[in-house]
Amino acid sequence: MTKNQILKITDECIKCGFCESVCPTLPAAGYNSIKGARGRIILAQFAINTGEELQISDSFYSCLDCFACLQVCPAGVNAGELSHLMKEEIAEKHINGNRVDIADMIKETILRFRNPLGLNKESAEWASSINFDESDTILFTGDMYQLMAYTKFINYVRKYFDRNLFNAFSRLISRHPDLIKLSRHFYDINMKNKMENNLRNIVRLLKMSGVKFNYLREDEDYPGMFLYDLGYINEFKKYANNVYNKLKKLNVKKIICIDPHTYDLMKNIYPEYIKNYDLEIYYYTDLINMNFEKTSEEITVQQPCHIVLHKNNYRALDILKKSANVKLNEPENLTSCCGGPDELLFPEIASEVSYKRYNNLKQTAGKIITICPLCYNNLSYDENVIDFSDFMIKLIK
């Protein structure tokens, strides 16, 4: 079935190249054609039709899933969707035994620990002094804010590793997943403090808006985003159903998500794989209902791809417009990727994409507001990059 879906997409492509004008990975990869949107379409069509022995994984795993290509394609072709389908083929070993060692490592650790780094306890420490409500609504962090400090350190160290050595290390952890827990000792302390402060800011904004909610602390499961993004669909389906069933046993009815990736996953992807899915999913900015001071400060906004380009709605930009002088360097219904989804597998591409995006935003306004922990992590080249929660908490009347 997947192969038929792939061929349907590739047959609709007219090879015009409009997608390459907006694909962020193409210039970041030195205009290597197979790491651009059109190149991925052509390579997928060739691989599926011929079955040739090709090393194709880098092409599709380097796709940022930002859907920028879809916004300019006259034929309505989504190369991001195609890349995801090809990752399914690769992950299931349907194409020539292609293998991605780091992806396999992440799969094994998630399935074993319900957390990519096995840091369930550490991921809940930020809330140790907070009292939550008895409620059927829960704050679902997805561990995104919490994991940024660890992934930042890992990617810093990885720059000094030979790729083959890092792949060998990944294979070792795949066989012995408990080793991943050693990562608890290695993190960027400044990023950890900043992210935990942002989490507490989010809680404060919601509480001051009159929202009643609980938090599962160490019992919160990672939602499985990496399983889905890396193409492990069979594993993801089982995992997502386990997460859902656990939430239902706890009588959870409403979920407040605080990052765009978890929000998109639980709002749009979970229902595709879970029968009778009936959780109500909210983005935390949509629940903020309070008065803020008005500042004359000029700011620009890094809008998240998984909100804007994935056609989800949120109120964060409206809140910012009422509180500051917002300048955007693109229409409100468009945005450019921060490069974050490539950080683990392709740090060089992620770095090129993020620095280009940072410079574009910096030329627009003095302060850059992010509404996604991944965007903050990848764009925080200086102190003028600020998380939405941190910016708004300082404007409370």
Residue 367: the pLDDT is 96
Rounded Cα distance between 202 and 316, Å, is 13
Q: Does the pLDDT value for residue 76 go beyond 80?
A: yes
Rounded Cα distance between 229 and 339, Å, is 15
In tens, the pLDDT along 243-254 reads 999 999 999 999
Q: Residue 44 belongs to what H/E stretch?
A: helix 37-50
**What mean pLDDT is predicted for residues 37-51?**
87
Residue type at 115 in one-letter notation: N
In tens, the pLDDT along 337-347 reads 999 888 878 88
Sheet with strand 325-326: strands edge to edge = 325-326, 298-302, 367-370, 385-387
In tens, the pLDDT along 199-242 reads 999 999 999 999 999 999 999 999 999 999 988 999 999 999 99
Beta-bridged to residue 214, according to DSSP, are 138
Residue 97: the pLDDT is 45
Q: Residue 257 belongs to what H/E stretch?
A: strand 254-257
